Amino acid sequence: MVRSRQRAGDSTTSLPHAIAVTVCLLALGAPTPAHAAPGGGGAEYVALGDSGAATTGVRNFDTSAPLRCLRSTANTPKLVAQDLGLRLDDRTCNSARITDLSTAQEPGIAPQFDALGPDTRLVTVHIGANDALMAEHVVACHASGIFGVGVCAGPAWDADIDGIATSYSAALRQIAALAPKAKIVVDGWPSYVREGGCPELVGLRPSDAGRVQAAFDHLNTVVAGAATAHGATYVDTRAASIGRDACAPAGVRWIDPVIATETLVPYHLTPQGMRGVADVIVPAIRASGLPD
């Protein structure tokens, strides 16, 4: 989903420990050889995006992908491909920003758009949280509760979210140009935090829980608007995830909290979350069909 997701700790948590937890959310690993480019026609199904689509953390780790990407063998794109019987080129990668769609994210990680071509039938897109600095703002919300300094997300957060609209729209136009036959599907962010929060969201004050979720809802609004304006299909995952946020029990929740028992990656999708998102996307694709 994002470059880093959350800070852990409580009123007795030391600053070094909180920083260590935050750092562990950053991607690890050295560059590995780039994914082989498809033929000139492009892959049948191309998945584009950041860690919100790429990873289930320490579970189901895809050793064939660049280590930096933390890509999973059981992420939403893989599940969508299995359900629809499509050949997938999964280019999703941890920490990806919109610019990484068209330029190399780093040595060994090719531009995600390299997988597109005239034969591409389906493109799924889940990106923009890193550009909107969601991780930094979420960490600030937790830090303000842990250390009693700062505030949880002032007007700057909304400005950062609104600021992705232009580059997001440009990316959708470029996808349509590179894969003119493809159905483009944009999926939004699910429910992360329920009203009032919970102890598993260590340091997040009950009064700030709604602010965090409101920011993800705002991000959905911006992305949905761009998708609709450019002829893409927007898939809302928020409604299906109500009651399955980070405060739900393990095995039920779609999002791991700060005390991340399933993936070790706070504020990211659990395996149940990846399956749940796929179960929303697949019917939406089937309802409107795919190009031949």
8 A C-beta contact, residue 268 and residue 5: yes
**Residue 34: burial class (beta carbons within 10 Å; 0-12, 13-18, 19+):** middle
- The catalytically annotated residue of 35, 137, 142, 268 is 268
* 268 assigned to active site: yes
Q: Which of 4, 35, 51, 142 is catalytic?
A: 51
Report the 10 Å Cβ neighbour count for 31: 14
Q: What is the pLDDT along the chain (292 residues), one digit of tens a residue?
A: 444 333 333 333 333 333 333 433 333 333 333 344 455 799 999 999 999 999 999 999 999 999 999 999 999 999 999 999 999 999 999 999 999 999 999 999 999 999 999 999 999 999 999 999 999 999 999 999 999 877 887 899 999 999 999 999 999 999 999 999 999 999 999 999 999 999 999 999 999 999 999 999 999 999 999 999 999 999 999 999 999 999 999 999 999 999 899 999 999 999 999 999 999 999 999 999 999 8
Burial of 264 (0-12, 13-18, 19+ CB in 10 A): middle
Write b or e for each residue in 38-50: b if 16 or more Cβ atoms lie within 10 A of its Cβ, otherwise e: beeebbbbbbbbb
What is the predicted pLDDT for the residue at 39? 58
Which pLDDT does position 29 carry in this prediction? 36
Which of 41, 126, 118, 133 is CA-nearest to residue 90?
126
- Can you tell me the distance from the alpha carbon of 92 to that of 53, in angstroms, rounded to the nearest whole number? 6
Radius of gyration from C-alpha coordinates of the chain: 18
Q: What is the reported pLDDT for 148? A: 83
Which sequence spans correspond to the domains of the chain?
15-288
Residue 188 pLDDT: 98
| The pLDDT value given to residue 150 | 77
Instruction: Assign domain 15-288 to its CATH superfamily.
Output: SGNH hydrolase (3.40.50.1110)
What secondary structure, in 3-state letters, does the chain show?
CCCCCCCCCCCCCCHHHHHHHHHHCCCCCCCCCCCCCCCCCCCCEEEEECHHHHCCCCCCECCCCCHHHCCECCCHHHHHHHHHCCCEEECCCCCCCCHHHHCCCECCECCHHHHCCCCCCEEEEECCCCCCCHHHHHHHHHHHHHHCCCCCCCHHHHHHHHCCHHHHHHHHHHHHHHCCCCEEEEECCCCCCCCCCCCCCCCCCHHHHHHHHHHHHHHHHHHHHHHHHCCCEEECCCHHHCCCCCCCCCCCCCECCCCCCCCCCCCCECHHHHHHHHHHHHHHHHHHCCCC
Asked if residues 233 and 126 have their Cβ atoms less than 8 Å apart, the reply is: no
What pTM does this model have? 0.88
AA identity, residue 171: A
Tokens of 210: 């709604």
Q: Any catalytic annotation for residue 51?
A: yes
